[in-house]
A = this chain, B = another copy of it.
Amino acid sequence: MDGVLAKIGLMNRFFLTNEISDNKITKNSEPDFYHHLVDVLRARPGKKIELVSQTELYDVTIENVDEDAITFNEIEKKESHSELPIDVTIVVSNLKSDHTDFLIQKSTELGVSKIIITNFKNTVAKIKDDKKIQRYQKIVQNAAEQSKRLKVPEVEIVNKLSQIDFSQYETKIVAYEESAKNGEKNQLVKSINNTGHGLVAIFGPEGGIDPDEIDSLKQAGFVLAGLGPRILRAETAPLYLLSAVSYQKEMN
């Protein structure tokens, strides 16, 4: 279920909550990991897996599994460059149906650092507090594991767009489809090129961002950037941005 190419020997990857201190992980210290590996995957001695702890990647071979702990007989630190070279935070509207699920899963595959889900004036399916946060965290964790990342993106739910503090961000853009139509094409490229360590990008709901919200964002230092001449749905636009960041920063 994970990739597009033959993955013979591609190992399962697991994110640990704590640092790896020795050759043993107890059920108490990493209950989710223990449950998934032992109860779900029924892993046996000899199985090789990948562990990620504090954004470091380790190849390990299982030595023994008992009811309290898993021990490993080989632990090898590995090089990996699977994180985007800049942090990308996306701020998105909660969306109808399962579109938010989809959006956060795909954004995670494409390297997003942080996802803030919020309510815009035109958000139809308003999200309340952190009712769904666990579900979303599960989705991004699974997607991060499958896409072989070293970081699980943060997910945050904020009641209102105006409650988000954007002061920490170096580069701030609002995805604005009218921009591209009016012939503006360079803002996205400029923003991506000029970003040293991170950018935040805002994507509105299905009904669009209200002009008052646009004004407030401009006052907060945001620039409007088009994402090409076609109208992208709310759940598609962030994927375009993340792909563009990867293409510009990782492939060129």
A231 touches B147 (CB 8 A): yes
B2 touches A148 (CB 8 A): no
A88-124 interface bits toward B, Cβ cutoff 8 Å, 1 = contact, 0 = none: 0000000010000010001001110000000000100
Q: Is A200 interfacial (CB-CB < 8 Å)? A: no
- Which residues of chain B have C-beta atoms less than 8 A from A210's C-beta? 6
A248 touches B247 (CB 8 A): yes
A146 touches B231 (CB 8 A): yes
Q: Is A7 interfacial (CB-CB < 8 Å)? A: yes
- Which residues of chain B have C-beta atoms less than 8 A from A177's C-beta? 3-5
Range of interface residues on A (Cβ < 8 Å): 35 or more
- The majority secondary structure among interface residues of chain A is loop
Task: Please report which residues of chain A, range 221-242, place their CB below 8 angstroms from some CB of chain B when the two chains form the complex.
Answer: 226-234, 236-237, 239-240
Stretch at the interface among A21-29, A133-141, A182-190: A182-190
- Which residues of chain B have C-beta atoms less than 8 A from A244's C-beta? 243-244, 247, 251
Q: Which of B106, B232, B239 contacts A147 (CB 8 A)?
A: B232
Using CB atoms, name the residue of chain B closest to A229. B82
Q: Is A81 interfacial (CB-CB < 8 Å)? A: yes
B250 touches A6 (CB 8 A): no
Using a CB–CB cutoff of 8 Å, the interface residues on chain A facing chain B are 1-7, 10, 80-82, 96, 102, 106, 109-111, 122, 146-149, 175-178, 185-186, 188-189, 203-211, 214, 226-234, 236-237, 239-240, 243-244, 246-248, 250-252
18 other contacts beyond A4-B175, A106-B239, A111-B228, with CB at 8 A cut-off?
A2-B231, A2-B233, A4-B204, A4-B233, A5-B177, A5-B204, A6-B209, A6-B214, A82-B230, A109-B232, A111-B230, A146-B233, A148-B231, A185-B251, A228-B246, A228-B251, A240-B246, A240-B247
